[in-house]
């Protein structure tokens, strides 16, 4: 069962000119692939899909796509999105066929909890989230919406590594190195204001005075 249902139509034509025409008509091109079946180019309603994509859970959930006609339903994951580089709007979706029991790997957001209560923040430290997402492998029907990490005990200089994180049951993050996800950095020291300008001006004034005195002495001679 999924919270997201997409209504689609089969896309009979492909190519750049056709996709531009579809976008102008308020449609969003997509392709359904994988699962041992042939690729299925489809088109979605842009407004309906863009509204769903505002929910971050959309990117880690199984989606149901109803294709009009004899193609029926497909259960998919969103594997890739092409974005407009200027307007940051979706231009094309890649939808990968899955079943509930399939193990899949997706990018899952990291959420830092309780960092505002930790001793290091009280002392002026700065929370640095090194990894904003983790590559999580789990069953397709049990992908975590996000990975929560408790930061309430962090002191300045402390780090949280992947081996310190308790993942949801059945979820894994493949890694050979115990990489850092979050650290609490020391506060930045204020830089002293430069005094070079004043020194240069004073030096210039002294040089001018010496030059004046020299000129006076010469005239007297």
User: Mean pLDDT across the stretch 4-31?
Assistant: 91
For residue 111, give its domain range: 104-185
Query: pLDDT (tens digit, 9 = 90+) per residue, 170-186?
Result: 999 999 999 999 999 99
Between 149 and 13, the higher pLDDT residue: 149
Q: Dmax over Cα atoms in the chain, in whole Å?
A: 112
Same domain, 146 and 82: no
3-state helix, strand, coil in the chain (%, to 5): 25, 35, 35
Q: How far apart are CA 59 and CA 19, in angstroms?
A: 23
List the beta bridge partners of residue 161. 180
More confident residue, 199 or 16: 16
Residue where the block lists tokens 């020194």: 199
Q: Identify the pLDDT of residue 203.
A: 52
Q: Residue 188: its pLDDT value, please?
A: 81
Q: Where does the pLDDT of residue 219 fall: very low under 50, low under 70, confident under 90, or very high at 90 and above?
A: very low
Assess whether 94 and 111 both reside in one domain: no
What is the C-alpha to C-alpha distance for residues 138 and 102, in angstroms, rounded to an integer? 8
Residues 44-72 pLDDT 10s: 999 999 999 999 999 999 999 999 976 78
**Would 207 be classed as within a structural domain?**
no
What was the pLDDT predicted at 220? Answer: 47
Specify whether the CB–CB gap between 178 and 162 falls below 8 A.
yes
Domain end (from 98, 124, 158): 98
């Amino acid at each position: 069962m999924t919270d997201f249902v997409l209504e689609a139509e089969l896309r009979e034509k492909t190519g750049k000119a056709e996709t531009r025409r579809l976008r102008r008509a308020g449609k969003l091109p997509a392709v359904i692939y994988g699962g041992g079946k042939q690729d299925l180019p489809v088109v979605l309603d842009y407004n309906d899909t863009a509204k769903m994509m505002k929910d971050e859970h959309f990117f880690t959930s199984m989606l149901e796509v109803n294709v009009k006609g004899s193609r029926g339903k497909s259960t998919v994951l969103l594997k890739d999105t092409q974005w407009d580089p200027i307007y940051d709007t979706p231009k094309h979706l890649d939808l990968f066929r899955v079943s509930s029991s399939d193990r899949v790997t997706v990018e899952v957001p990291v959420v830092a909890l309780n960092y505002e209560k930790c001793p290091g923040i009280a002392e002026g430290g700065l929370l640095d989230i090194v990894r904003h997402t983790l590559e999580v492998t789990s069953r397709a029907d049990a992908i975590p919406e996000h990975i929560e990490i408790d930061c309430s005990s962090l002191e300045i200089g402390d780090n949280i590594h992947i081996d310190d994180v308790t993942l949801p049951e059945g979820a894994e993050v493949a890694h050979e190195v115990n990489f850092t996800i979050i650290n609490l950095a020391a506060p930045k020291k204020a830089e002293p204001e430069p005094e070079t300008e004043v020194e240069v001006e004073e030096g210039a004034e002294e040089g001018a005075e010496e030059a004046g005195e020299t000129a006076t002495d010469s005239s007297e001679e």
